Amino acid sequence: MSLVVRVLLVEDDPAIRSGLVRGLAEHGHVVLSASTGAQAIAMLSEDRPDVTILDLGLPDLDGSHVLEMAKVLKSAPVIVATARDDEREMIRLLNAGADDYLVKPFSAAQMDARIRAVLRRVAPPETEDRVLAVGGLRLDPVAREASLDGEALDLTRKEFDLLQALMQHAGEVVTKRALLAEVWQQPWGGADRTVDVHLSWLRRKLGETAAKPRYLASVRGVGVKLTAP
């Protein structure tokens, strides 16, 4: 199997980090590395790796906080790699969204095998319908086309990305912080006004208002929820 992926290695121990960077590179992967949680979160947002290898014992943040942000960003799979071998901790992290858990020490070959296995598991079936549909809304993420009741929607890039994010979470209340992270790649938050303005523009193109919503309902103090009328 020939598979080259961009790996983000989050590890504060210089010896372990350099050894894994070298070993994974020998297995054909492109390896980025971070030694702190803050650096890892920035790289998750900016570099969009295919998979993240995450140590828990970081100097500034516990790795579980980085895992949480990776899920907010809808980042690629996360493999926890740590010296902690407590079963309850393992179960907690897997339930929190980790895709695999590997206890140190391990070889680069073992990690390479885990990377390939995780990517096989998360790969969508080739037959999966790529078009998102909610009520009369249709959105094709690959073709970057959206329509309402059969009529094409003329959306800006950010309006399209915002609609896609909300349709992917249809029926759920999505916070403005999550939208800032996912659509504007601002994981530490930013101006809520940015989201409000784009929601207003999007509502106008969907033929609705905040006072009289059809698809986009505001939940005061929480966020917005997209549902079928």
Global pTM? 0.55
CATH code assigned to 132-226: 1.10.10.10
Give the Cα separation of 209 and 161 in Å (integer): 19
Give the tens place of pLDDT for each residue, 15-70. Answer: 999 999 999 988 888 899 999 999 999 998 888 888 999 999 899 988 889 998 88
CATH code assigned to 6-122: 3.40.50.2300
Distances 143 to 56, 101, 138, 213, 229 between C-alpha atoms, Å: 39, 36, 12, 27, 25
Give the tens place of pLDDT for each residue, 197-225. Answer: 999 999 999 999 988 999 999 888 778 99
Give the Cα separation of 66 and 71 in Å (integer): 9
Nearest by Cα to 217 from 159, 173, 151: 173
Give the Cα separation of 114 and 225 in Å (integer): 36
Beta strands in 23-171 (DSSP E): 30-34, 51-54, 78-82, 100-103, 132-134, 137-140, 145-148, 151-152
Residue 163 has phi, psi (to 5 degrees) of: -65, -40
**Which positions ≥6 away from 62 have C-beta within 8 Å?**
37, 56
CATH 1.10.10.10 domain position(s) in the chain = 132-226
CATH 3.40.50.2300 domain position(s) in the chain = 6-122
